[in-house]
Amino acid sequence: MTASTLDTTATTVEPAAELTDGYHLAVDALKLNDIRTIYGVVGIPITDLARLAQASDIRYIGFRHESDAGHAAAAAGFLTKKPGVCLTVSAPGFLNGLVALANATRNCFPMIQISGSSERHLIDLKQGDYEELDQLAAAEPFAKAAYRVSRVEDIGRGIARAIRTAVSGRPGGVYLDIPAAVLGEVVDAAAGAATLWRVVDPTPHQRPATEAVDHAIELLATARRPLVVLGKGAAYAQADAKIREFIESTGIPYLPMSMAKGLLPDDHPQSAATARSLALRRADVVMLVGARLNWLLNHGRAPQWNPAAKFIQVDIDPAEMDSNQPIAAPLVGDIESVFDALAERTEPVAAPTAWRDELAERSAHNVAKMAQRLAADPHPMRFSGALKAVRDVVHERPDVYLVNEGANALDIARNVIDMRVPRHRLDSGTWGVMGIGMGYAIAAAVESGAPVVAVEGDSAFGFSGMELETVCRYRLPIVTVVLNNGGVYRGDGVNPLATDPSPTTLMSEARHDKMIEAFGGKGFRATTPAEVAAALTEALASGGPALIDCVIDPSAGTESGHIAHLNPKGVTVGNLTPPTK
């Protein structure tokens, strides 16, 4: 695309020189690299970048807060294996987006935050420019890499570098700073076009050495109680058929981490998800596939794990090995190549029948206990009643993407709602972050065109609730289910002085359904599981934006959900009694 043509109506004899500028070059470079969607919030100096992107057939999705736009870009990266792009304005907008960039990096999602920035010479001498901030320095600690483009002829290079860095090796968030002056710089169009290029093979296959593969196979062959743990890296890798083939041909039980649910259907006979504690405590050889031994896996430590367990780890990042436990057999490479190599070298092994039976027995026991809990229908409704209703409706719609955040809303939904399709569940992830809800939901709907159900605790929903307007503006097929128990964790907190609400109290009488109605979406209020099911069925059938406010007993839920043990143990716990006068 060309910015303008010089006006040569005067007496010029030279032919008109075609000109372009930084805005056009940035958009052209993104398009050349197949970036088809940008998520962002416009303002100085990037508004024209968004306009030009639209004019160039790149979809621009405008948000109400940069952190939501950033989370959307990160989720798009996870879902598509290509960097999701987020556009932010200088300083405050940039900083708002940074939470999402950091979260993307922690989750190993490929994302690029492109931000406009103010005048470099004023920033560097701290002369007090509009939205002055040394953004490159600020981004550095939170990103996989941070780059700045200081000359218009480097825009193509900067974008190529950002793309390759975001998706190659361990994926992550990349910051790309483009100062306003560079965006506005005018250059000869042909010369400018010659500075752009398309990145070749940004995610090259990396195959582990044959000896490493054989070593892992030998170790697996010694196992009496082998276990495969599938993490969101395995889901991200898009090697679904190869992973499934390995698991089914070896007969090894597997445990899906929350975002790996659906890689194999949750009702698969080899799933150990419903016997998780036993599986961890007893497994003697564990093969981690795109899953880190971080807090989500208790760092691989006893008593949750068998202290004698030996680990095989499949990961693209060699430095991940030994981060928590000794890794007896590192398989460093991309998951697809590793599973190709495993398939070539693996001899048929006997399925570990006794071990599978042991897990199946525990699983049957736990499933029966859960069924009992779900069958109870207390009034007022509790989390499990509402979520059972969601589960039953979603069961009929395996195409639905599920977004999930909260404390109890996350813990319980993760266990209750089965997934049957890969990469259809997005949640708080590695950081346990709140606020991803609407951003992830919007990206899932935009990238897939499929319906999305966002199961949100009322507190978690509050972080990104204003994006309901975005959902309605783009008429996205997103149904937000707010589990409204009127509080952070729960709604029955007490302030001993009885004036202000307690720190954990929110408004239990809040009508979140009215929020979406303000923007033209459909609001529902549900007080029983039957009402939740009816509302969700109707909302999904409508194909448009909807919100179901589920009224949950304020006394339902536990503080900090399943991770209450992470609260420091002081002398004051829970609700305090009033001070004596």
- State the residues that interact with ligand ADP by CB under 6 A: 107-108, 170-171, 231-233, 236-237, 257, 259-260, 290-292, 294, 296, 315-317, 320, 334-335, 430
| CA atoms of 467 and 253, how far apart (whole Å) | 40
The nearer residue to ligand ADP, 257 or 516, going by C-beta atoms, is: 257
260 burial type by CB count under 10 A (0-12 exposed, 13-18 middle, 19+ buried):
buried
Cross-strand bridge partners of residue 289: 230, 314
Residue least distant from ligand ADP (Cβ): 233
Transcribe 446-493 into DSSP letters.
Answer: HHH-S-EEEEEEHHHHHTTGGGHHHHHHTT--EEEEEEE-SBSS-S--
Cβ distance to ligand ADP smaller for residue 264 or 471: 264
Please say which residue, 229 or 546, places its beta carbon nearer to ligand ADP: 229
What is the torsional sign of CA 571, 572, 573, 579? positive
Q: How far is CA 197 from CA 24, 54, 115, 160, 194, in A?
A: 14, 21, 21, 7, 8
Nearer to ligand ADP, 160 or 332 (CB): 332
Size (the chain), residues: 581
CB of 219: closest distance to ligand ADP in angstroms? 19
Cβ distance to ligand ADP smaller for residue 405 or 513:
405
Q: What angle do CA 275, 253, 346 make, to 5 degrees?
A: 165
CB of 188 to ligand ADP, least distance (A): 41
**Shortest Cβ distance from residue 254 to ligand ADP (Å)?**
13
Sequence-separated (6 or more) residues with CB below 8 Å from residue 172:
104, 105, 108, 109, 110, 111, 143, 144, 145, 165, 166
Residue 20 or 258: the one with the smaller Cβ distance to ligand ADP is 258
Contact of 411 with 508, CB cutoff 8 Å: no
Closest distance to ligand ADP from the beta carbon of 231 (Å): 3
CB nearer ligand ADP, residue 337 or residue 384: 337
Q: Are strands 18-21 and 186-188 parallel, antiparallel or unpaired?
A: antiparallel
Min dist. Cβ of residue 335 to ligand ADP (A): 4
- What is the SS3 assignment for 37? strand
Query: Least distance to ligand ADP from the beta carbon of 296, Å?
Result: 5
Q: Which residue number, 374 or 426, has a Cβ lying nearer to ligand ADP?
A: 426
How far apart are the C-alpha atoms of 456 and 435, rounded to whole Å? Answer: 10
Q: How far is the CB of 107 from ligand ADP (least distance, A)?
A: 6
Closest distance of CB 347 from ligand ADP, Å: 24
Residue closer to ligand ADP by CB (options 138, 296) is: 296
Q: Which amino acid does the sequence have at 120?
A: R
Minimum CB separation from ligand ADP for residue 229, in Å?
7
Choice between 332 and 442, CB closer to ligand ADP:
332
> Considering only CA atoms, which of 154, 17, 177 is closest in space to residue 98?
177
408 HSE (CA, 13 A, CB side): 26
Distance in Å, CB of 239 to ligand ADP, minimum: 8
Neighbours of 330 (CB within 10 A): 19
| Cα separation, 39 vs 70, whole angstroms | 7
CB of 146 to ligand ADP, least distance (A): 20
Residue number, 23 or 142, with CB nearest to ligand ADP: 142
Q: Are strands 59-62 and 285-289 parallel, antiparallel or unpaired?
A: unpaired
Question: Could you give the C-alpha distances from 218 to 149, 222, 312, 449, in angstroms and in order?
Answer: 50, 7, 11, 44
